[in-house]
Amino acid sequence: MLNEEIQALQARIKELQIEHRDLDDVIARLSKEVYVDQLQLRRLKKRKLQLKDIIERLRSKLIPDLDA
């Protein structure tokens, strides 16, 4: 993998981590409210899980392949 590709993947991972952290803050804030839109909360949690999966997939691409 080229150095530029590695840097691009690392930058994308950082962007997704920021979005994941922001969603975590929003979910925590919404969960404390008395009247919560459950559908919105579910969608935010689903998006957060999707981001986590994408981040993990991108991280696995950064691991060099080892020939057996």
DSSP per-residue codes, 23-45:
HHHHHHHHHHSSS--HHHHHHHH
pLDDT in tens, 8-43: 999 999 999 999 999 999 999 999 998 999 999 999
> pTM for this one?
0.85
Tokens of 24: 């975590």
pLDDT of residue 67: 60
Tokens of 59: 């991280």
pLDDT band at 1 (very low <50, low <70, confident <90, very high): confident
Q: What angle do CA 52, 17, 7 make, to 5 degrees?
A: 110
